[in-house]
Amino acid sequence: MKLTILGCYAATPRTITNPTAQVLEIKNQMFLIDCGEGTQVQLRKHKIKFSRINHIFISHLHGDHFYGLVGLISTFMLLNRENDLHVYGPKGIKELILMQLRASGSYTGYQLFFHELEGTESEIIFEDEKVVVKTIPLKHRIYTNGYLFQEKNKQRKLNIEAVEKYKIDTCYYQKIKFGGAITLEDDTIIPNKELTFDPDPEKRYAFCSDTVYNEDILPIINEVDALYHESTFLESEAHLAEKTMHTTAKQAATIAQKARVKTLIMGHYSTRYGNIELFKEEAQTIFNNVILGDDGKEIEL
Amino acid sequence: MKLTILGCYAATPRTITNPTAQVLEIKNQMFLIDCGEGTQVQLRKHKIKFSRINHIFISHLHGDHFYGLVGLISTFMLLNRENDLHVYGPKGIKELILMQLRASGSYTGYQLFFHELEGTESEIIFEDEKVVVKTIPLKHRIYTNGYLFQEKNKQRKLNIEAVEKYKIDTCYYQKIKFGGAITLEDDTIIPNKELTFDPDPEKRYAFCSDTVYNEDILPIINEVDALYHESTFLESEAHLAEKTMHTTAKQAATIAQKARVKTLIMGHYSTRYGNIELFKEEAQTIFNNVILGDDGKEIEL
**What are the tens digits of pLDDT across the range B65-77?**
999 999 999 999 9
* Average pLDDT rounded to a whole number, residues B238-267: 98
For the domain covering B2-153+200-300, report its CATH number. Answer: 3.60.15.10
Q: What is the pLDDT of residue B251?
A: 98
* Preferred mutation among A100, A143, A244 to probe B, highest tally of B CBs within 10 A: A100
Q: Decide: B262 and B225 in contact? Cβ < 8 Å.
A: yes
Q: Which residue of chain B comes nearest to A76, CA vs CA?
A: B12
Binary contact (B15, A44; C-beta < 8 A): yes
Q: What is the pLDDT of residue B155?
A: 85
Share of chain B above pLDDT 70, in %: 100
Binary contact (B74, A15; C-beta < 8 A): no
Binary contact (A38, B99; C-beta < 8 A): no
Q: What is the pLDDT of residue A260?
A: 98
Q: Where are the beta strands (DSSP E) in A62-212?
A: 85-90, 112-117, 124-127, 131-138, 144-151, 157-158, 182-183, 189-190, 196-197, 204-208
Residues of B in contact with A103 (CB under 8 A): 61, 92, 96, 142
Out of B38, B44, B96, closest to residue A100 by CB = B96
Contacts of B246 (CB under 8 A, 6+ apart): B10, B140, B210, B211, B212, B230, B232, B233, B240, B268
Per-residue confidence at A36, pLDDT binned at 50, 70, 90? very high
Is residue B26 within a helix (H) or strand (E), and if so which, with residue range?
strand B21-26
ipTM of the modeled complex: 0.89
Binary contact (A74, B63; C-beta < 8 A): yes
Q: What percentage of chain A's residues is helix, strand, coil (to nearest 5)?
A: 30, 30, 40
Binary contact (B71, A67; C-beta < 8 A): yes
Q: What is the pLDDT of residue B108?
A: 77
Q: Which residue of chain B comes nearest to A68, CA vs CA?
A: B37
Per-residue confidence at A190, pLDDT binned at 50, 70, 90? very high
* Average pLDDT rounded to a whole number, residues A184-205: 92
Q: Decide: A253 and A219 in contact? Cβ < 8 Å.
A: no
Q: Is the pLDDT of residue A200 over 90?
A: no
Binary contact (B71, A63; C-beta < 8 A): yes
Binary contact (B40, A45; C-beta < 8 A): no
- pLDDT tens readout for residues B155-183: 899 999 999 999 999 999 999 998 999 99
Mean pLDDT of the residues in chain A: 95
Q: Which residue of chain A comes nearest to B38, CA vs CA?
A: A38
Look at B280 and A178; give whichever has higher pLDDT.
B280
Give the catalytic positions of B in this structure.
Answer: 64
Q: Is the pLDDT of residue B154 over 80?
A: no
Per-residue confidence at A235, pLDDT binned at 50, 70, 90? very high
* Preferred mutation among B6, B16, B41 to probe A, highest tally of A CBs within 10 A: B41
- pLDDT tens readout for residues B184-238: 989 999 999 999 999 888 899 999 999 999 999 999 999 999 999 999 999 999 9
Show me where the domains of chain B are located.
2-153+200-300, 157-197
Per-residue confidence at B276, pLDDT binned at 50, 70, 90? very high
* Average pLDDT rounded to a whole number, residues A172-199: 92
Q: Is the pLDDT of residue A223 over 90?
A: yes
Binary contact (B40, A74; C-beta < 8 A): no
Picking from B18, B268, B274, B295, the residue whose alpha carbon sits closest to that of residue A41 is B18
- pLDDT tens readout for residues B91-145: 999 999 999 999 998 877 899 999 999 999 999 999 998 999 999 999 999 999 9
* Average pLDDT rounded to a whole number, residues B83-88: 97
User: Residue A207 burial by CB count (10 A; 0-12/13-18/19+): exposed, middle or buried?
Assistant: buried
Looking at domain A2-153+200-293, which CATH architecture does it have?
A: 4-Layer Sandwich (3.60)
Contacts of A51 (CB under 8 A, 6+ apart): A81, A83
Q: Is the pLDDT of residue A233 over 80?
A: yes
* Preferred mutation among A17, A46, A104, A142 to probe B, highest tally of B CBs within 10 A: A104
Q: What is the pLDDT of residue B252?
A: 98
- pLDDT tens readout for residues A69-105: 999 999 999 999 999 999 999 999 999 999 999 999 8
Q: Is the pLDDT of residue B153 over 90?
A: no
Taking the C-alpha atoms of residue B20 and residue A6, their distance in angstroms, rounded to an integer, is: 23
Out of A12, A61, A71, closest to residue B104 by CB = A61
List alpha helices for chain B, DSSP H.
39-45, 63-66, 69-78, 93-103, 160-165, 173-177, 192-195, 218-221, 238-244, 249-258, 277-283
Known binding positions of B: 60, 62, 64-65, 140, 210, 268
Q: Are strands B298-300 and A263-267 parallel, antiparallel or unpaired?
A: unpaired
Please confirm, yes or no, whether A64 is among the known catalytic residues: yes
Residues of A with CB under 8 A from a CB of B: 11-15, 37-38, 40-41, 44-45, 61-63, 67-68, 70-71, 74-75, 78-79, 92, 95-96, 99-100, 103-106, 141-142
Taking the C-alpha atoms of residue A130 and residue B112, their distance in angstroms, rounded to an integer, is: 48
Q: Which residue of chain A comes nearest to B98, CA vs CA?
A: A96
